[in-house]
Structure 1
Amino acid sequence: MVEQSIWMQKVAADPGHSAWYIERFRSMARAGDDLAGEARLVDAMVSRRARILDAGCGSGRVGGVLAEAGHDVVGVDVDPALIEAAGQDHPGPRWLVGDLAELDLPAQGVTAPFDAIVCAGNVMTFLAPSTRREVLKRFRAHLAPDGRAAIGFGVDRGYEFGEFLADAAAGALEPDLLLSAWDLRPFRDDSSFLVALLRPA
């Protein structure tokens, strides 16, 4: 039995949490806030009409933009409410409910591998700690040999950057480029955010 994610623990403790999250991003979109920074970076990493996995897709803000850019997007999230909102707000991609620690898309009839995987929005820090390495191994299993995964999260969220990179190495993923933001600022020892572009080792 896979340990329940921190996200779903939050949902169990507060049944309104998912609705709050969905409305938060809908409100930001209505206000004209820039919600596409992660998608712009991933779009620049791949060729036109690439196959992209949005891992921990939430309500679809990243995968939706990538689909509008012409990519073949599959989004996976553990929270059914977020997947429902993704389908409502961003029709086009295939949105699936699933735990990243048990990710096996070919078993669900989804063709793999993917040209890129994006894991934005601090998703790695919402996983159950015991599942982090398994999630990264499953990312590697779903990546094309020349594909890359773009994973971003902040410091002080219970997952040290060094530990993450060690877990990635254990999952046969190695750094291609480390950044401190989705807008391509270089990573430094005192960076408070990490965007790791990882390739199969």
Structure 2
Amino acid sequence: MPTWKEITTRNPDHSQNYADRWDRIAAEGNDIYGEARLVDAIAPRHARILDAGCGQGRIGGYLAERGHDVVGVDLDPLLIDIARHRYPEASWKVADLAERIDVEPGFQVGVCAGNVLTFLAPAERPLALKHLYEVMAPGSRLLVGFGAGRGYPFPAFLEHAEAAGFEVSQQFSSWDLEPMKPNAGFLVAELRK
């Protein structure tokens, strides 16, 4: 799997195409907020929420519009610019999850959706989980979701999450909480600090 940096280096239009794709999906009447609704359901009202790998702000923007204090981070400056324009009520920062995340720690809830971790180099994935652990509050929950067959086997991810300090409290095969089954094509893990 190529990293996001490799993809955007090869195709400078990739980030805009990615944002446009989500706009098309929404314009066709499809639901693009399932992950955000799940996060909203588990978060206390007016929670401090981290959207890690936020892209153009689809999830974090939804949560900010519902009164949460959202900080979104992404390594793609173009996507962060789109997020800032569309959802000014949230805070958006350019940041690489594989490096220390320059945000005030203490997030009550976090979300890392959209295959974000699979777009990091294999050696960067454990670092990203360590950095996410560092900014989450004690007792917090981080929801991470990504598809199978993207070069990050689920057992390796779970091992990395535990090595970072998280407790893997639940695993599902979809954002609508379908039970995890052997050979599932998708993983949503709830990690607790």
TM-score with structure 1 setting the length? 0.92
Paired position in structure 1 for 2:41: 44
Residues 1:79 and 2:76 are matched in the alignment: yes
3-state SS of paired residue (2:98): helix
Paired position in structure 2 for 1:30: 27
- The CA distance in 2 between the partners of 1:171 and 1:145, in whole Å, is 14
Paired position in structure 1 for 2:140: 147
Paired position in structure 1 for 2:150: 157
1:1-201 alignment runs, 5 A limit: 6-105=3-102, 110-200=103-193
User: Per-residue CA shift, 1:36-61, capped at 9, x if unaligned?
Assistant: 10011111111000000000000110
Equivalent pairs counted in the alignment come to 192
- What is the root-mean-square deviation in Å for CA atoms of aligned residues? 1.1
Give the drift of 1:71: 0.3
3-state SS of paired residue (1:151): strand
User: What percent of counterpart residues are identical?
Assistant: 50
Identify which range, 51-60 or 27-36, moves more after superposition: 27-36
Give the drift of 1:87: 1.3
3-state SS of paired residue (2:78): helix
- The CA distance in 2 between the partners of 1:90 and 1:21, in whole Å, is 17
User: Per-residue CA shift, 1:141-185, capped at 9, x if unaligned?
Assistant: 111111010000000000000000011111011211101000011
| 8 Å CA contact 2:95, 2:101 repeated in 1 | no
- Structure 1 spans left out of the alignment, 5+ residues: none
| 8 Å CA contact 2:104, 2:135 repeated in 1 | no
- Structure 2 spans left out of the alignment, 5+ residues: none
> After TM superposition, where is structure 1 displaced by more than 6 Å over at least 4 residues in a row?
none
| 8 Å CA contact 2:72, 2:90 repeated in 1 | yes
3-state SS of paired residue (2:176): coil
- The CA distance in 2 between the partners of 1:132 and 1:157, in whole Å, is 13
Give the drift of 1:76: 0.3
- The CA distance in 2 between the partners of 1:199 and 1:139, in whole Å, is 11
TM-score with structure 2 setting the length? 0.96
